[in-house]
Amino acid sequence: MEITKTLGEFIIEKQADYPDATGELSSIFSSIRLAAKIVHREINKAGLADITGAVGNENIQGEQQQKLDVIANDKFKAALAARGVVCGLASEEEDCYVHFDDDRSKFGKYVVLIDPLDGSSNIDVNVSVGTIFSVYRRLSPMGEPVTEADFLQPGDQQVAAGYVIYGSSTMLVYSTGNGVHGFTYDPSLGIFCLSHENMCYPENGTIYSVNEGNYVHFHDGVKQYIKYCQMEDAKTNRPYTSRYIGSLVSDFHRNLIKGGIFLYPASSLHPTGKLRLLYECNPMAFLAEQAGGVAISGVESRTLELEPSELHQRVPFFVGSKNMVNKLERFLREFT
């Protein structure tokens, strides 16, 4: 692979866009980069080492924790705590938020929210998984312990967000509010290299991503939209192609590059939705909007404007190419 720019070089170069920056955000990305390398290494040992399968514990959502969920959570938590610039962390794998109480961390400006290993149940069958993260400025006074309010901020207050996808190659994709940029990991050199600068959603796409096995439980607006996707119409390149991996990072990443829409609606099984607002929906919504896409949680319900009420809150989530999401919203308005 020809080296253009490394992640570290790119971040330093972009600091000029933020005249008030003092380096803390760069340190957070360095921590995430380091932990991602370690998780990449562990995932690539799956099947050789005893790191696949369930731990035997459930997380706060009542889901079976996979061994790699715990490993990834520990690695990211340790990496973020070590640099002393993050004062607290909230994780999908933690019951409560974690405050870093050493002398340096107490004065950290930022909190991080993270899904350490999205789609981890897919590891046993060698399917792509990922890490999702977002960064907010703390609201509590520096020098004091973080509070829950530091984490319960609407998504439009995010300073940065991104994901790491561990697939045929490992990529780190992030935004600090000035576009979306992707870096591919070169394991022979141990560095992330700029490979996808200024990533943008195509305005239209031909892929829809939804778990159609739950079709019978969906509300009418979603059902009608799925039928629309399946109908033949040469003018709009339908029928669309159905592609669903079951790992949000993987489905999002494909649709971002090729154009498409991802749907995880509310249903009779999950009346408030299933994806977590803070750890999954807000970071992906931030990236989508930065890439020219749209993210909603219902009719006239922009995901980034939702006011969180609890750390593990679930919401419906629809994200993807602008014209596809807008079309879906019309169906939701008409039939729901």
Taking the C-alpha atoms of residue 170 and residue 190, their distance in angstroms, rounded to an integer, is 11
Taking the C-alpha atoms of residue 167 and residue 132, their distance in angstroms, rounded to an integer, is 14
Q: Identity (one letter) of the amino acid at 312? A: H
Residue (of 152, 189, 168, 239) closest to 6 by Cα position = 189
Q: What's the alpha-carbon Rg for the chain, to the nearest Å? A: 19
Residue (of 109, 112, 163, 106) closest to 135 by Cα position = 112
Residue 118 in tokens: 């999205």
Binding region for Mg(2+): 92, 115, 117-118, 280
Residue 63 in tokens: 């889901």
Binding region for substrate: 118-121, 211, 244, 274
Taking the C-alpha atoms of residue 84 and residue 87, their distance in angstroms, rounded to an integer, is 7
Taking the C-alpha atoms of residue 298 and residue 158, their distance in angstroms, rounded to an integer, is 21
Name the strand (E) or helix (H) holding 287.
Answer: helix 282-290
183 CB-side CA count, 13 A: 28
Binding region: 92, 115, 117-121, 211, 244, 274, 280
Given a contact cutoff of 8 angstroms between Cβ atoms, the answer to whether 123 and 46 are in contact is yes
Name the strand (E) or helix (H) holding 7.
Answer: helix 7-14
Residue 167 CA to chain centroid, in angstroms?
15
